[in-house]
Amino acid sequence: MAKRKAPTSKAKGGATDPEDVFPPDSVGIAPLVRQILKNIGEDPDREGLLKTPARVDRAWAFLTSGYHTDPRDVVNGAIFTEKTVGTHDEMVVVRDVEFYSLCEHHMIPFFGTIHVGYLPNRKVIGLSKIPRLIDVFARRLQVQERLTQQIAQSLLTILNPRGVAVVAEARHLCMCMRGVQKQNSVTTTSSMLGVFRNSPQTRNEFLSLIKG
Ligand code: ZN
Protein backbone atom coordinates (compact mmCIF):
# COMPACT_ATOMS: atom_id res chain seq x y z
CA MET A 1 0.00 0.00 0.00
CA ALA A 2 1.32 3.42 -0.95
CA LYS A 3 1.70 5.87 1.85
CA ARG A 4 0.19 9.30 1.44
CA LYS A 5 2.47 12.25 1.82
CA ALA A 6 2.39 13.95 5.16
CA PRO A 7 1.19 17.54 5.23
CA THR A 8 3.75 20.23 5.84
CA SER A 9 1.87 21.92 8.67
CA LYS A 10 3.17 21.33 12.15
CA ALA A 11 1.17 21.06 15.33
CA LYS A 12 2.43 20.82 18.87
CA GLY A 13 1.56 17.38 20.11
CA GLY A 14 -1.21 17.26 17.56
CA ALA A 15 -2.19 14.76 14.93
CA THR A 16 -0.38 16.45 12.07
CA ASP A 17 3.15 15.52 13.01
CA PRO A 18 4.99 15.20 9.68
CA GLU A 19 5.96 11.67 10.60
CA ASP A 20 2.39 10.53 11.15
CA VAL A 21 1.32 7.66 8.98
CA PHE A 22 -1.86 8.37 7.09
CA PRO A 23 -4.79 6.06 6.55
CA PRO A 24 -6.12 5.11 3.13
CA ASP A 25 -8.98 7.31 1.88
CA SER A 26 -11.41 4.44 1.64
CA VAL A 27 -11.92 0.87 2.74
CA GLY A 28 -14.71 0.37 0.21
CA ILE A 29 -17.57 -0.18 2.62
CA ALA A 30 -19.94 2.59 1.50
CA PRO A 31 -22.31 0.20 -0.35
CA LEU A 32 -22.40 -2.06 2.71
CA VAL A 33 -23.23 0.87 4.99
CA ARG A 34 -26.07 1.80 2.66
CA GLN A 35 -27.36 -1.75 3.05
CA ILE A 36 -27.10 -1.52 6.84
CA LEU A 37 -29.18 1.66 6.77
CA LYS A 38 -31.87 -0.17 4.80
CA ASN A 39 -31.81 -3.20 7.05
CA ILE A 40 -32.27 -1.22 10.24
CA GLY A 41 -35.33 0.44 8.77
CA GLU A 42 -33.84 3.71 7.56
CA ASP A 43 -34.19 5.44 4.23
CA PRO A 44 -30.65 5.84 2.86
CA ASP A 45 -31.97 8.34 0.32
CA ARG A 46 -33.26 10.88 2.79
CA GLU A 47 -31.23 14.07 2.90
CA GLY A 48 -29.48 13.57 6.24
CA LEU A 49 -28.20 10.13 5.27
CA LEU A 50 -27.19 10.71 1.67
CA LYS A 51 -23.51 11.19 2.45
CA THR A 52 -23.41 8.89 5.45
CA PRO A 53 -22.09 5.76 3.67
CA ALA A 54 -19.13 7.72 2.26
CA ARG A 55 -18.49 9.36 5.65
CA VAL A 56 -18.59 6.05 7.49
CA ASP A 57 -16.20 4.61 4.92
CA ARG A 58 -13.68 7.39 5.52
CA ALA A 59 -14.11 7.15 9.27
CA TRP A 60 -13.43 3.41 9.22
CA ALA A 61 -10.40 3.91 7.01
CA PHE A 62 -9.01 6.09 9.79
CA LEU A 63 -10.18 3.97 12.73
CA THR A 64 -8.57 0.85 11.27
CA SER A 65 -5.45 2.49 9.83
CA GLY A 66 -3.32 0.49 12.26
CA TYR A 67 -3.60 -2.49 9.90
CA HIS A 68 -1.67 -0.54 7.30
CA THR A 69 0.99 0.80 9.64
CA ASP A 70 4.23 -0.88 10.61
CA PRO A 71 5.23 0.03 14.19
CA ARG A 72 8.82 0.35 13.00
CA ASP A 73 7.86 3.08 10.52
CA VAL A 74 6.23 5.06 13.30
CA VAL A 75 9.30 5.06 15.52
CA ASN A 76 11.75 5.30 12.66
CA GLY A 77 14.39 7.95 13.28
CA ALA A 78 13.45 8.37 16.93
CA ILE A 79 15.52 5.62 18.51
CA PHE A 80 18.61 6.98 20.22
CA THR A 81 21.57 5.21 21.69
CA GLU A 82 22.62 6.55 25.07
CA LYS A 83 25.82 4.99 26.31
CA THR A 84 25.16 5.98 29.91
CA VAL A 85 21.54 4.83 29.99
CA GLY A 86 21.11 1.34 31.21
CA THR A 87 23.94 1.44 33.66
CA HIS A 88 21.64 2.81 36.36
CA ASP A 89 18.00 2.26 37.11
CA GLU A 90 16.41 5.13 35.22
CA MET A 91 12.85 4.18 34.57
CA VAL A 92 11.12 5.98 31.71
CA VAL A 93 7.39 6.42 32.32
CA VAL A 94 4.82 7.96 30.00
CA ARG A 95 1.43 8.07 31.65
CA ASP A 96 -2.15 9.03 30.77
CA VAL A 97 -1.88 8.57 27.02
CA GLU A 98 -5.41 8.75 25.61
CA PHE A 99 -6.45 6.02 23.22
CA TYR A 100 -9.53 5.00 21.25
CA SER A 101 -10.04 1.51 19.91
CA LEU A 102 -12.82 -0.78 18.68
CA CYS A 103 -13.88 -3.97 20.42
CA GLU A 104 -13.66 -6.88 18.04
CA HIS A 105 -16.80 -8.52 19.39
CA HIS A 106 -19.19 -5.66 18.68
CA MET A 107 -17.16 -3.20 16.59
CA ILE A 108 -18.08 -0.55 19.16
CA PRO A 109 -15.50 1.77 20.77
CA PHE A 110 -13.58 1.21 23.93
CA PHE A 111 -11.31 3.99 25.12
CA GLY A 112 -9.31 5.25 28.04
CA THR A 113 -5.73 5.82 29.05
CA ILE A 114 -2.53 3.83 28.75
CA HIS A 115 0.59 4.09 30.88
CA VAL A 116 3.93 2.86 29.57
CA GLY A 117 7.19 2.31 31.39
CA TYR A 118 10.50 0.80 30.41
CA LEU A 119 14.00 0.37 31.74
CA PRO A 120 16.37 1.21 28.90
CA ASN A 121 19.25 -0.91 27.81
CA ARG A 122 21.21 1.81 25.96
CA LYS A 123 18.42 2.45 23.45
CA VAL A 124 15.74 5.07 24.19
CA ILE A 125 12.78 6.18 22.13
CA GLY A 126 11.58 9.75 21.51
CA LEU A 127 8.74 10.21 23.99
CA SER A 128 6.31 11.56 21.41
CA LYS A 129 6.57 8.23 19.61
CA ILE A 130 4.94 6.23 22.36
CA PRO A 131 1.44 7.65 21.72
CA ARG A 132 2.00 6.96 18.00
CA LEU A 133 2.93 3.38 18.74
CA ILE A 134 -0.19 3.00 20.89
CA ASP A 135 -2.33 4.28 18.00
CA VAL A 136 -0.87 1.70 15.61
CA PHE A 137 -2.37 -1.04 17.75
CA ALA A 138 -5.46 0.84 18.97
CA ARG A 139 -6.63 1.61 15.44
CA ARG A 140 -7.61 -1.98 14.76
CA LEU A 141 -10.30 -4.31 16.03
CA GLN A 142 -9.06 -5.27 19.46
CA VAL A 143 -9.61 -6.83 22.81
CA GLN A 144 -8.06 -4.78 25.60
CA GLU A 145 -5.79 -7.59 26.76
CA ARG A 146 -4.22 -8.04 23.32
CA LEU A 147 -3.85 -4.29 22.79
CA THR A 148 -1.91 -4.09 26.06
CA GLN A 149 0.32 -7.02 25.15
CA GLN A 150 1.03 -5.83 21.62
CA ILE A 151 2.20 -2.43 22.82
CA ALA A 152 4.51 -4.05 25.38
CA GLN A 153 5.84 -6.62 22.92
CA SER A 154 6.56 -4.07 20.21
CA LEU A 155 8.54 -1.91 22.65
CA LEU A 156 10.44 -5.00 23.72
CA THR A 157 11.28 -5.83 20.11
CA ILE A 158 12.17 -2.29 19.08
CA LEU A 159 14.21 -1.20 22.13
CA ASN A 160 15.45 -4.45 23.62
CA PRO A 161 15.10 -2.85 27.06
CA ARG A 162 15.60 -4.56 30.42
CA GLY A 163 11.86 -4.50 30.87
CA VAL A 164 8.56 -3.03 29.70
CA ALA A 165 5.35 -2.32 31.59
CA VAL A 166 2.04 -1.34 30.03
CA VAL A 167 -1.19 -0.68 31.94
CA ALA A 168 -4.46 0.16 30.15
CA GLU A 169 -7.62 1.50 31.79
CA ALA A 170 -10.68 1.60 29.57
CA ARG A 171 -14.42 1.92 29.35
CA HIS A 172 -16.18 -0.29 26.85
CA LEU A 173 -19.17 1.27 25.14
CA CYS A 174 -20.44 -2.18 24.17
CA MET A 175 -21.05 -2.63 27.90
CA CYS A 176 -22.22 0.90 28.74
CA MET A 177 -24.48 1.51 25.73
CA ARG A 178 -26.15 -1.87 25.72
CA GLY A 179 -26.91 -1.47 29.38
CA VAL A 180 -25.25 -4.72 30.30
CA GLN A 181 -24.71 -3.17 33.75
CA LYS A 182 -21.99 -1.31 35.64
CA GLN A 183 -22.09 1.60 33.23
CA ASN A 184 -19.17 3.35 34.83
CA SER A 185 -16.95 0.33 35.24
CA VAL A 186 -13.35 0.62 34.15
CA THR A 187 -11.44 -2.41 32.92
CA THR A 188 -7.73 -2.55 33.74
CA THR A 189 -5.23 -4.76 31.93
CA SER A 190 -1.47 -4.94 32.27
CA SER A 191 1.51 -6.52 30.60
CA MET A 192 4.77 -6.77 32.54
CA LEU A 193 7.88 -8.00 30.75
CA GLY A 194 11.50 -8.48 31.82
CA VAL A 195 12.45 -6.84 35.11
CA PHE A 196 8.90 -5.57 35.58
CA ARG A 197 7.80 -9.16 35.75
CA ASN A 198 10.74 -10.48 37.75
CA SER A 199 11.23 -7.71 40.27
CA PRO A 200 8.30 -6.76 42.54
CA GLN A 201 10.24 -3.65 43.56
CA THR A 202 10.53 -2.39 39.97
CA ARG A 203 6.91 -3.24 39.27
CA ASN A 204 5.72 -1.43 42.39
CA GLU A 205 7.81 1.61 41.56
CA PHE A 206 6.10 1.79 38.18
CA LEU A 207 2.65 1.26 39.65
CA SER A 208 3.17 4.01 42.19
CA LEU A 209 4.42 6.38 39.47
CA ILE A 210 1.25 5.95 37.39
CA LYS A 211 -1.10 6.37 40.34
CA GLY A 212 -3.23 9.43 40.96
ZN1 ZN B 1 -17.65 -5.51 22.91
Read off the pLDDT of residues 62-100 as tens digits, 9 standing for 90 and up: 999 999 999 999 988 899 887 766 555 689 999 999 999
Rg of the chain (C-alpha set): 20
* 107 Cα–ligand 1 center, Å: 7
Decide if 172 is catalytic: yes
**Model pLDDT, residue 90:** 87
Superfamily the domain 23-63 falls into: GTP cyclohydrolase I, N-terminal domain (1.10.286.10)
Decide if 176 is catalytic: no
CATH code of domain 74-211: 3.30.1130.10
Decide if 82 is catalytic: no
Per DSSP (E only), the strands in the chain are: 79-81, 92-103, 109-119, 123-125, 141-142, 163-172, 187-194
* 160 Cα–ligand 1 center, Å: 33
Query: How far is it, in rounded angstroms, from Cα 56 to Cα 170?
Result: 24
**Model pLDDT, residue 127:** 92
**Model pLDDT, residue 137:** 98
* 36 Cα–ligand 1 center, Å: 19
**Model pLDDT, residue 13:** 40
Decide if 115 is catalytic: no
Contacts for 178 with CB less than 8 Å, ≥ 6 apart: 106
Handedness of CA 76, 82, 85, 91 (dihedral sign): negative
For residue 165, give the 3-state DSSP assignment: strand
Confidence (pTM): 0.86
**Model pLDDT, residue 139:** 97
* 195 Cα–ligand 1 center, Å: 33
- Boundaries of every domain in the chain: 23-63, 74-211
- What is the average pLDDT across 158-162? 95
Query: How far is it, in rounded angstroms, from Cα 62 to Cα 97?
Result: 19
